[in-house]
Amino acid sequence: MKPHPIENAPQEIPYYRPVANECDLFEHAFNHRLALLLKGPTGCGKTRLVAHMAARLGRPLYTVSCHDDLTAADLTGRYLLRGGETVWCDGPLTRAVRTGGICYLDEVVEARKDVTVVLHPLTDDRRILPLERSGETLVAPDDFMLVVSYNPGYQQMMKALKPSTRQRFLAITFDFPAFDDEVAIVARESGLAVEQCAPLVRLAARLRAMKGQDLDEGVSTRLLIYCATLVHSGMPLENAVLAAMIEPLSDEADVKEGLLEVVRVTL
Ligand code: ADP
């Protein structure tokens, strides 16, 4: 008889190029049952790192993109009416605890405050998940791991993680990869030659330097990959840069003009 496939089981290891000691730290955290907090701008590799490590460690991955309506019950589960019967349905966090998986809460600061109530007993030495509504208390197995991320750039005081929450996690700060790493990543992900990726990465560095001057966020590695993908598929360079590296950054005509000026002097 064929074994049942594990829900969310990784098929193959997604490509991830380490930029510092993050893979090593992740593995130590997993081995010692410690929770991990990833801080950094959007599109710099946090989600890819988690997917890569989950596959490397052979654990199923449950990813939740947090938003301001997300409640503890969305993570733990709820009773639902099915065919006239009320049945309990596990949420992604509960499934990760039951199966010994990795639960990744992306942009955790966006979630409602009651989410921290379920995270606290899971992230100290109790490692328990009390399911108030069903009356069960689950003890997390050794291979359960909680990973959360947030972007300090977007953070408002109201949404900051409280010290009592953040001090339950090991933490890593992410930034955009160093030049050679980013060129290698963009080339690998887009298929564009390294020599053609290098000027785009150089341009991204110049555009990132404008952060703060009317720009909230610099161009992400993700956008750089989109740009290189367009160029690789035959789009003229200027059009690709405009669509992938200028327009997504701002709606203001004068800000876009400033960015285009940087493009003109760089490319
Ligand atoms: P976020 O930080 O918002 O979670 P992602 O992990 O989704 O960002 O990264 C965006 C894209 O950038 C990924 O899909 C991947 O293609 C690429 N990427 C960024 N950093 C790396 C890296 N170190 N190795 C491989 N790919 C990377």
**H or E stretch including 70?**
none
Q: CA-CA distance, 65 to 63, in Å (whole number)?
A: 7
* Look-up of token digits 């789009």: 235
Answer for the pair 207, 256: CB distance below 8 angstroms, yes or no.
no
> Atom 18, ligand 1: which residue's CA is nearest?
45
Q: Could you say which residues of the chain have pLDDT below 70?
A: 1-11, 154-158
From the list 97, 102, 104, the residue with the least C-alpha distance to 128 is: 97
Please tell me if the CB atom of residue 17 comes closer than 6 angstroms to any atom of ligand 1: yes
Residue 1 is predicted with a pLDDT of 41
**H or E stretch including 75?**
helix 72-76
Beta bridge partners of 170: 36
Residue 215 is predicted with a pLDDT of 81
Please tell me if the CB atom of residue 95 comes closer than 6 angstroms to any atom of ligand 1: no
Residue 159 phi/psi, 5° resolution?
A: -105, 0
Q: CA-CA distance, 240 to 5, in Å (whole number)?
A: 41
Please tell me if the CB atom of residue 188 comes closer than 6 angstroms to any atom of ligand 1: no
Answer for the pair 176, 41: CB distance below 8 angstroms, yes or no.
yes
Radius of gyration, alpha carbons of the chain? 21
* Look-up of token digits 């997504």: 248
Please tell me if the CB atom of residue 44 comes closer than 6 angstroms to any atom of ligand 1: yes
Q: CA-CA distance, 156 to 144, in Å (whole number)?
A: 30
Pocket test for ligand 1, best of 221, 226, 232 (most atoms within 8 A of CB): 221
Q: CA-CA distance, 265 to 53, in Å (whole number)?
A: 40
Please tell me if the CB atom of residue 221 comes closer than 6 angstroms to any atom of ligand 1: yes
Please tell me if the CB atom of residue 47 comes closer than 6 angstroms to any atom of ligand 1: yes
Answer for the pair 79, 87: CB distance below 8 angstroms, yes or no.
yes
Pocket test for ligand 1, best of 44, 49, 232 (most atoms within 8 A of CB): 44
Please tell me if the CB atom of residue 182 comes closer than 6 angstroms to any atom of ligand 1: no
The two three-digit tokens of residue 180, written as one number: 């050679």
Distances (CA, A) of 230 to 56, 226, 238, 261: 31, 6, 11, 21
Answer for the pair 28, 62: CB distance below 8 angstroms, yes or no.
no
Q: Return the ligand 1 atom nearest residue 17 CA.
A: 24
The total of other beta-carbon atoms located within 10 Å of residue 37's CB is 23
Residue 153 is predicted with a pLDDT of 77
Please tell me if the CB atom of residue 65 comes closer than 6 angstroms to any atom of ligand 1: no
Residue 132 is predicted with a pLDDT of 84
Residue 214 is predicted with a pLDDT of 75
Its ipTM equals 0.99
Residue 10 is predicted with a pLDDT of 57
pTM over 0.80: yes
Q: CA-CA distance, 56 to 14, in Å (whole number)?
A: 9
* Look-up of token digits 């009356």: 135
How far does CA 67 lie from the centroid of its chain? 13
Beta bridge partners of 139: 128
Q: CA-CA distance, 155 to 196, in Å (whole number)?
A: 35
